[in-house]
Amino acid sequence: MPKRILIVDDEPELRNVIQLILNLDGYETLTARGGAECLDLLAQQSVDLIVLDLMMPKVDGWEVLRQLKSQGRADAIPVVLLTAKDQPIDKMLGLKVFGVTDYITKPFDKTDLLNRVAKALG
Amino acid sequence: MPEINGFQLNYYESVMDSIPCGTLALNSELIIASMNPAAEQILGLKMQDSIGYPLPRLLNPLLGSNDTEKLEAGLKSVLRLRFALASELGFANRVVALRASPLVQPQHPVMGVVLVLEDITERKRAEERIRQQLAELQRWYGVSLSRETRALALKGEVNALLRRLSEPIRYPSAES
Protein backbone atom coordinates (compact mmCIF):
# COMPACT_ATOMS: atom_id res chain seq x y z
CA MET A 1 0.00 0.00 0.00
CA PRO A 2 1.52 3.37 -1.00
CA LYS A 3 2.50 5.79 1.73
CA ARG A 4 0.25 8.82 1.97
CA ILE A 5 1.90 12.24 2.08
CA LEU A 6 0.23 15.56 2.86
CA ILE A 7 1.75 18.52 1.00
CA VAL A 8 1.09 21.91 2.60
CA ASP A 9 2.09 25.00 0.64
CA ASP A 10 0.29 28.21 -0.25
CA GLU A 11 1.96 28.45 -3.67
CA PRO A 12 -0.17 26.40 -6.12
CA GLU A 13 2.63 25.84 -8.66
CA LEU A 14 5.04 24.56 -6.06
CA ARG A 15 2.35 22.40 -4.51
CA ASN A 16 1.65 20.86 -7.91
CA VAL A 17 5.35 20.26 -8.64
CA ILE A 18 5.91 18.54 -5.29
CA GLN A 19 2.77 16.48 -5.80
CA LEU A 20 3.91 15.40 -9.26
CA ILE A 21 7.38 14.44 -8.03
CA LEU A 22 5.97 12.37 -5.18
CA ASN A 23 3.22 10.76 -7.27
CA LEU A 24 5.71 9.71 -9.94
CA ASP A 25 7.75 8.04 -7.22
CA GLY A 26 4.73 6.01 -6.15
CA TYR A 27 3.43 7.99 -3.19
CA GLU A 28 -0.20 8.86 -2.62
CA THR A 29 -0.60 12.58 -1.98
CA LEU A 30 -3.03 14.99 -0.41
CA THR A 31 -2.66 18.74 -0.62
CA ALA A 32 -3.55 21.68 1.60
CA ARG A 33 -3.34 25.36 0.63
CA GLY A 34 -2.49 26.52 4.10
CA GLY A 35 -2.19 25.68 7.77
CA ALA A 36 -5.91 25.75 8.52
CA GLU A 37 -6.70 23.35 5.69
CA CYS A 38 -3.84 21.11 6.81
CA LEU A 39 -5.21 20.88 10.34
CA ASP A 40 -8.73 20.21 9.03
CA LEU A 41 -7.42 17.41 6.80
CA LEU A 42 -5.42 15.88 9.64
CA ALA A 43 -8.55 15.83 11.80
CA GLN A 44 -10.31 13.72 9.16
CA GLN A 45 -7.63 11.57 7.57
CA SER A 46 -4.45 9.82 8.55
CA VAL A 47 -1.21 10.48 6.69
CA ASP A 48 2.24 8.95 6.88
CA LEU A 49 4.20 12.18 6.35
CA ILE A 50 3.66 15.92 6.06
CA VAL A 51 5.71 18.10 3.71
CA LEU A 52 5.14 21.49 5.28
CA ASP A 53 5.91 25.04 4.20
CA LEU A 54 6.54 27.58 6.97
CA MET A 55 5.60 30.94 5.52
CA MET A 56 1.91 30.88 4.75
CA PRO A 57 -0.79 33.49 5.35
CA LYS A 58 -3.05 33.27 8.41
CA VAL A 59 -2.14 29.87 9.88
CA ASP A 60 1.55 29.36 9.11
CA GLY A 61 3.71 26.27 9.38
CA TRP A 62 4.88 27.15 12.89
CA GLU A 63 1.26 27.24 14.05
CA VAL A 64 0.63 23.84 12.48
CA LEU A 65 3.65 22.48 14.39
CA ARG A 66 2.43 24.08 17.63
CA GLN A 67 -1.02 22.52 17.16
CA LEU A 68 0.46 19.10 16.42
CA LYS A 69 2.68 19.40 19.48
CA SER A 70 -0.16 20.49 21.76
CA GLN A 71 -2.32 17.64 20.45
CA GLY A 72 0.52 15.21 21.16
CA ARG A 73 0.65 14.24 17.48
CA ALA A 74 4.06 15.70 16.70
CA ASP A 75 5.85 12.42 17.34
CA ALA A 76 3.24 10.35 15.55
CA ILE A 77 3.51 12.03 12.14
CA PRO A 78 6.92 12.73 10.64
CA VAL A 79 7.20 16.25 9.23
CA VAL A 80 9.60 17.47 6.57
CA LEU A 81 9.81 21.24 6.48
CA LEU A 82 10.25 22.62 2.97
CA THR A 83 10.83 26.32 3.26
CA ALA A 84 12.65 29.37 1.94
CA LYS A 85 13.72 30.18 5.49
CA ASP A 86 17.37 29.18 5.59
CA GLN A 87 18.53 30.83 8.79
CA PRO A 88 20.16 28.62 11.44
CA ILE A 89 17.75 29.84 14.11
CA ASP A 90 14.79 28.58 12.06
CA LYS A 91 16.48 25.22 11.49
CA MET A 92 17.11 25.02 15.22
CA LEU A 93 13.45 25.84 15.94
CA GLY A 94 12.21 23.26 13.47
CA LEU A 95 14.58 20.43 14.26
CA LYS A 96 15.20 20.88 17.97
CA VAL A 97 12.16 22.67 19.36
CA PHE A 98 9.46 21.08 17.21
CA GLY A 99 11.36 17.87 16.49
CA VAL A 100 10.61 17.78 12.77
CA THR A 101 12.23 14.91 10.91
CA ASP A 102 14.01 16.99 8.28
CA TYR A 103 14.46 20.55 7.09
CA ILE A 104 14.84 21.29 3.38
CA THR A 105 15.43 24.80 2.07
CA LYS A 106 14.00 26.11 -1.19
CA PRO A 107 14.97 25.93 -3.97
CA PHE A 108 15.18 22.17 -3.59
CA ASP A 109 16.57 19.38 -5.69
CA LYS A 110 14.11 16.69 -6.82
CA THR A 111 16.38 13.75 -5.97
CA ASP A 112 17.27 15.28 -2.62
CA LEU A 113 13.58 15.72 -1.80
CA LEU A 114 12.80 12.10 -2.70
CA ASN A 115 15.76 10.79 -0.71
CA ARG A 116 14.83 12.75 2.35
CA VAL A 117 11.14 11.86 2.12
CA ALA A 118 12.10 8.17 1.85
CA LYS A 119 14.44 8.52 4.83
CA ALA A 120 11.75 10.32 6.88
CA LEU A 121 9.30 7.53 6.15
CA GLY A 122 11.87 5.12 7.51
CA MET B 1 27.66 28.09 8.23
CA PRO B 2 29.14 24.92 9.74
CA GLU B 3 26.65 22.64 11.48
CA ILE B 4 26.61 22.69 15.27
CA ASN B 5 26.89 19.26 16.85
CA GLY B 6 25.17 18.05 20.02
CA PHE B 7 28.21 18.65 22.20
CA GLN B 8 28.51 22.29 21.08
CA LEU B 9 24.78 22.82 21.52
CA ASN B 10 24.92 21.49 25.09
CA TYR B 11 27.90 23.72 25.76
CA TYR B 12 26.14 26.84 24.44
CA GLU B 13 22.98 25.94 26.35
CA SER B 14 24.99 25.62 29.57
CA VAL B 15 26.50 29.05 28.95
CA MET B 16 23.05 30.54 28.32
CA ASP B 17 21.60 28.85 31.41
CA SER B 18 24.36 30.29 33.61
CA ILE B 19 23.81 33.91 32.56
CA PRO B 20 22.14 35.73 35.48
CA CYS B 21 20.22 38.07 33.13
CA GLY B 22 17.18 36.78 31.31
CA THR B 23 18.27 35.92 27.78
CA LEU B 24 16.02 35.00 24.87
CA ALA B 25 16.72 34.35 21.20
CA LEU B 26 13.87 35.14 18.81
CA ASN B 27 13.68 34.37 15.11
CA SER B 28 12.59 36.95 12.51
CA GLU B 29 8.94 36.27 13.35
CA LEU B 30 9.71 36.91 17.03
CA ILE B 31 9.18 33.25 17.89
CA ILE B 32 11.19 32.19 20.95
CA ALA B 33 13.89 29.76 19.85
CA SER B 34 15.63 29.59 23.20
CA MET B 35 15.44 31.14 26.65
CA ASN B 36 17.34 30.65 29.88
CA PRO B 37 16.02 30.01 33.42
CA ALA B 38 16.58 33.68 34.38
CA ALA B 39 14.21 34.76 31.57
CA GLU B 40 11.71 32.17 32.77
CA GLN B 41 11.86 33.66 36.27
CA ILE B 42 11.73 37.33 35.21
CA LEU B 43 8.82 36.86 32.80
CA GLY B 44 7.04 34.29 34.95
CA LEU B 45 6.65 32.05 31.91
CA LYS B 46 7.44 28.35 31.84
CA MET B 47 10.08 27.41 29.30
CA GLN B 48 8.14 24.46 27.90
CA ASP B 49 5.06 26.65 27.35
CA SER B 50 7.06 29.48 25.77
CA ILE B 51 9.68 28.10 23.39
CA GLY B 52 8.20 27.88 19.91
CA TYR B 53 5.64 30.61 20.58
CA PRO B 54 5.73 34.25 19.41
CA LEU B 55 6.91 36.44 22.30
CA PRO B 56 4.23 39.15 21.72
CA ARG B 57 1.49 36.53 22.06
CA LEU B 58 2.90 35.44 25.43
CA LEU B 59 3.46 38.98 26.70
CA ASN B 60 0.06 40.31 25.70
CA PRO B 61 -1.71 39.10 28.89
CA LEU B 62 1.12 40.57 31.00
CA LEU B 63 1.63 43.92 29.28
CA GLY B 64 -1.72 44.61 27.67
CA SER B 65 -2.21 45.10 23.96
CA ASN B 66 -0.89 48.70 23.73
CA ASP B 67 2.49 48.00 25.30
CA THR B 68 2.76 44.67 23.50
CA GLU B 69 2.19 46.38 20.14
CA LYS B 70 4.83 48.99 20.98
CA LEU B 71 7.31 46.29 21.97
CA GLU B 72 6.56 44.29 18.82
CA ALA B 73 7.09 47.37 16.65
CA GLY B 74 10.38 48.07 18.45
CA LEU B 75 11.63 44.50 17.98
CA LYS B 76 10.70 44.58 14.29
CA SER B 77 12.70 47.80 13.96
CA VAL B 78 15.69 46.03 15.48
CA LEU B 79 15.35 43.36 12.78
CA ARG B 80 14.89 45.87 9.96
CA LEU B 81 17.38 48.53 10.94
CA ARG B 82 19.99 46.43 12.80
CA PHE B 83 20.12 48.71 15.82
CA ALA B 84 20.03 47.96 19.53
CA LEU B 85 16.98 48.96 21.53
CA ALA B 86 16.78 49.70 25.25
CA SER B 87 13.47 49.97 27.04
CA GLU B 88 11.65 49.20 30.26
CA LEU B 89 8.67 46.93 30.78
CA GLY B 90 6.31 47.26 33.71
CA PHE B 91 4.12 44.36 34.72
CA ALA B 92 2.95 42.53 37.83
CA ASN B 93 4.34 45.31 40.08
CA ARG B 94 7.79 44.80 38.61
CA VAL B 95 10.04 46.80 36.34
CA VAL B 96 12.20 44.98 33.82
CA ALA B 97 14.98 46.59 31.80
CA LEU B 98 15.10 45.22 28.28
CA ARG B 99 17.87 45.38 25.71
CA ALA B 100 17.26 44.00 22.24
CA SER B 101 20.07 43.46 19.76
CA PRO B 102 20.00 42.06 16.24
CA LEU B 103 21.13 38.43 15.98
CA VAL B 104 23.50 38.53 13.06
CA GLN B 105 25.80 36.36 11.07
CA PRO B 106 28.45 38.26 9.11
CA GLN B 107 27.30 39.07 5.55
CA HIS B 108 23.84 37.62 6.10
CA PRO B 109 20.45 39.15 6.79
CA VAL B 110 19.51 39.57 10.44
CA MET B 111 18.26 36.17 11.58
CA GLY B 112 16.53 37.31 14.73
CA VAL B 113 16.74 39.27 17.96
CA VAL B 114 18.57 38.62 21.21
CA LEU B 115 16.76 39.97 24.26
CA VAL B 116 18.48 40.58 27.57
CA LEU B 117 16.20 41.22 30.54
CA GLU B 118 17.08 42.43 34.01
CA ASP B 119 14.68 42.81 36.91
CA ILE B 120 15.32 46.35 38.16
CA THR B 121 12.32 46.56 40.49
CA GLU B 122 14.48 46.92 43.63
CA ARG B 123 16.73 49.51 41.99
CA LYS B 124 13.67 51.49 40.88
CA ARG B 125 12.19 51.28 44.41
CA ALA B 126 15.47 52.54 45.91
CA GLU B 127 15.54 55.39 43.38
CA GLU B 128 11.95 56.27 44.27
CA ARG B 129 12.79 56.27 48.00
CA ILE B 130 15.73 58.64 47.36
CA ARG B 131 13.51 60.85 45.20
CA GLN B 132 10.88 61.03 47.96
CA GLN B 133 13.53 61.84 50.59
CA LEU B 134 14.93 64.60 48.39
CA ALA B 135 11.45 66.05 47.88
CA GLU B 136 10.89 66.02 51.68
CA LEU B 137 14.21 67.77 52.28
CA GLN B 138 13.35 70.41 49.69
CA ARG B 139 9.97 70.96 51.36
CA TRP B 140 11.59 71.44 54.77
CA TYR B 141 14.14 73.79 53.31
CA GLY B 142 11.30 75.84 51.80
CA VAL B 143 9.37 75.93 55.09
CA SER B 144 12.38 77.00 57.18
CA LEU B 145 13.32 79.63 54.60
CA SER B 146 9.85 81.21 54.69
CA ARG B 147 9.84 81.10 58.50
CA GLU B 148 13.12 83.04 58.50
CA THR B 149 11.66 85.61 56.11
CA ARG B 150 8.52 85.98 58.22
CA ALA B 151 10.57 86.44 61.45
CA LEU B 152 12.60 89.16 59.73
CA ALA B 153 9.41 90.94 58.64
CA LEU B 154 7.99 90.81 62.20
CA LYS B 155 11.18 92.28 63.61
CA GLY B 156 10.93 95.07 61.07
CA GLU B 157 7.30 95.73 62.13
CA VAL B 158 8.34 95.86 65.82
CA ASN B 159 11.14 98.32 64.98
CA ALA B 160 8.67 100.51 63.05
CA LEU B 161 6.20 100.59 65.99
CA LEU B 162 9.01 101.47 68.42
CA ARG B 163 10.10 104.26 66.10
CA ARG B 164 6.54 105.66 66.12
CA LEU B 165 6.67 105.62 69.94
CA SER B 166 10.04 107.42 69.69
CA GLU B 167 11.76 104.54 71.42
CA PRO B 168 15.00 102.88 70.37
CA ILE B 169 14.60 99.97 67.92
CA ARG B 170 15.02 96.46 69.34
CA TYR B 171 16.23 94.57 66.26
CA PRO B 172 18.99 96.45 64.42
CA SER B 173 19.72 93.27 62.43
CA ALA B 174 16.29 93.61 60.77
CA GLU B 175 17.14 97.07 59.43
CA SER B 176 18.36 96.81 55.88
* Long-range CB pairs of B126-131, under 8 A, 24+ apart, other chains included: none
CATH number, domain B6-119: 3.30.450.20
Note whether B169 and B162 are within 8 A (CB).
yes
3-state secondary structure of A81: strand
Q: Which residues contact B121 (CB under 8 A, 6 or more apart)?
A: B93, B94, B95, B96
Q: The sheet that has B32-35: what strands, in order across it?
A: B32-35, B22-27, B112-119, B94-103, B85-91
**Mean pLDDT in residue range B24-28:** 96
**Residues from chain A contacting residue B109 (CB–CB below 8 Å):** 87
The ipTM assigned to this model is 0.89
Q: Which of A60, A65, A89 sits opposite B111 (nearest CB)?
A: A89
Tell me if chain A has a CB within 8 Å of the CB of B165: no
Where along chain B do the CATH 3.30.450.20 domains lie?
6-119
The rounded mean pLDDT for chain B is 91
- pLDDT at position B175 is 82
- pLDDT at position B159 is 93
Strands (E), chain B: 22-27, 32-35, 85-91, 94-103, 112-119
**Residues from chain B contacting residue A62 (CB–CB below 8 Å):** 29, 31, 52
Distance CA A102, CA A52 (A): 10
Q: Which of B9, B25, B52 sits opposite A89 (nearest CB)?
A: B25
**Mean pLDDT in residue range B82-105:** 92
- pLDDT at position A72 is 83
- pLDDT at position A116 is 97
Domains: count for chain A: 1
Host domain of residue A54 = 4-120
Query: pTM of this prediction?
Result: 0.81
Could you tell me the CATH number of the domain that includes residue A41?
3.40.50.2300
**Residues from chain A contacting residue B49 (CB–CB below 8 Å):** none
- pLDDT at position B2 is 55
